Amino acid sequence: MKLAHVAGMLLFGAASIGVFTSCSSDNNKANGKTKTALSGDSTAVEEEETNARAPIDTAKYNQLIKKLANGDTTGKWPVKKQPYPLDGAILPFKRIIVYYGNLHSKKMGALGEYAPKEMWTRLNAEVKRWEKADPATPVQVGLHYIAAVASGTPGKDGKYINRMGNKQIDSVLKIAAMHKNTIVFLDLQVALSNIKAEIPHIAKYLEMPNVHLGIDPEFSMKDGSLPGKKIGTYDAADINYVSQYLADVVKKHNLPPKVFVIHRFTRKMVSNYQNIKLRPEVQIVMHMDGWGEPDLKLGTYRHFIYSEPVQFTGFKLFYKNDLKKAPHRLMTPEELLKLKPAPIYIQYQ
C-alpha cells in the first residue's frame, strides 16, 4: 500500500496546468440513416447509411478480451459477466489512439499545441508505431478535446469552469474530418458544477455517431475546493448516471455504442467502482492518467486500474511531463502491450 500511496501522491493527471487557462465560449433519425455535417456553429443532419453495422462476433469478442488479459490468473481480467456490446462497437476489435488537448492552449496537449496538419503528421506517426507493435489489432484514430475546462477564475456563474462554445467544438470536428473515420471525444472538467448540469451543453454532439465522451474526476470538486488545489472525485453513482444517459442517446438515435473514458490516477478519484454498471450501449474505459517515470506509471496502473477492474483500460503518455525524471523517456507501445490487461485506449498529451 505504501507504493500505492506514493503513486497517488506523485502523479498528477490530465491537464492540471489547464485549470488556469481562460477560454471564452460562445440528430435526427430518419429511416435509420444519419450523417453529420458542419455548418457554422450548428450541426446539420444529412443522409448516410448507419444500419449496415456488422453484428457482434461474440466468439471473437471473447477471444479478444481474453487476449487483452495477457494471461492474468487472478480472475480479475477479463471482467466477468460483462454484456456483449451492440453492433458497431469499437472495443476490443480496434485500439483507440488519440491526441488530447484544447485549441486555446499549447500547454494542455498535442491537440492545440500544433497546427492541424502538423498535428496529424505526428499522430499518424504514433499510429504507425502501434500498428507495427501490434499488427493484429487495427487502430481507431481519434481526437480527445477538453470541451469544459476547469478554470482558475470563477466565471459568470461562479463554477470555475470555461465551457467551449459550439464554434470551438465544430472546429475540432472539422480537424477530425481531415482524416476519414476519425472519432472525437468531448471531455468534461466540471469544477464546482456537476456532471448532470454539464452534459446538456454537449448533448447535440453526443447524438453524432462519431462523438464519444470523457469525464475527469480530478476536476470534480464536490467539496467546494477550487480546481487544481486538490484532486476531485466521482462515485459509481455519477458514472452510472452518465452511462445511462449515453445508453438512452444510443437507443433513441440508433447509434453504435459510445466509448466512455474515465480518467484516474488515485483510488479516491473513483469510489465504489464495484457498483459501476455495464451496458451494451456503452463501453467504459478506466484510463490511467498519471504522469512520471515508467516505474511510477506502472505502479499507478497496477494499483488503481488493474486492481479495480471495470471493463476496458487506457493509458496516457505525456510528451513533456513523462520526461522530467530519469530515464527521461516515453514508454513504448511494446512495453504497454505487456501490461495485464493490455490497454485498448491510448492517449497522448
Phi, psi of 208 (to 5 degrees): -85, 140
Question: Is the preceding peptide bond at 309 cis, omega within 30 degrees of 0?
Answer: no
Q: Residue 31 class from Cβ within 10 Å (0-12 exposed, 13-18 middle, 19+ buried)?
A: exposed
Convert the pLDDT of each residue in 86-105 to its tens digit.
999 999 999 999 999 999 99
Say which residue, 21 or 82, is predicted with more confidence: 82
pLDDT for res 23: 36
pLDDT for res 339: 97
Contacts with 299 (C-beta within 8 Å, 6 or more apart), sequence order: 3, 4, 6, 7
pLDDT for res 15: 52
State the pTM of this model: 0.87
Mean pLDDT over 39-45 rounds to 35
pLDDT level of residue 38 (50, 70, 90 thresholds) = very low
272: three-class secondary structure by DSSP: coil
The dihedral of CA 275, 278, 282, 287: what is its sign?
A: positive
Name the residue among 160, 34, 27, 19 with its Cα closest to residue 88.
Answer: 34
- pLDDT for 55 beyond 70: yes
Mean pLDDT over 8-18 rounds to 43
- pLDDT for 20 beyond 90: no
Contacts with 8 (C-beta within 8 Å, 6 or more apart), sequence order: 265, 266, 267, 268, 300, 303, 304
Convert the pLDDT of each residue in 146-199 to its tens digit.
999 999 999 999 999 999 999 999 999 999 999 999 999 999 999 999 999 999
Average per-residue pLDDT for the chain: 88
pLDDT for res 32: 39
Q: Give the H/E segment covering residue 234.
A: strand 234-235
Mean pLDDT over 37-41 rounds to 34
Convert the pLDDT of each residue in 271-314 to its tens digit.
999 999 999 999 999 999 999 999 999 999 999 999 999 999 99
- pLDDT for 78 beyond 80: yes
User: Percent helix, strand and coil across the chain, each rounded to 5?
Assistant: 35, 25, 45
pLDDT for res 54: 78
Convert the pLDDT of each residue in 107-138 to its tens digit.
999 999 999 999 999 999 999 999 999 999 99
Judge contact between 20 and 151, C-beta under 8 A. Answer: yes
> Which residue shows C-alpha cell 485498448?
344
Phi, psi of 212 (to 5 degrees): -125, -175
pLDDT level of residue 53 (50, 70, 90 thresholds) = confident
Q: Give the H/E segment covering residue 297.
A: helix 294-300
Judge contact between 17 and 302, C-beta under 8 A. Answer: no
- pLDDT for 16 beyond 50: no
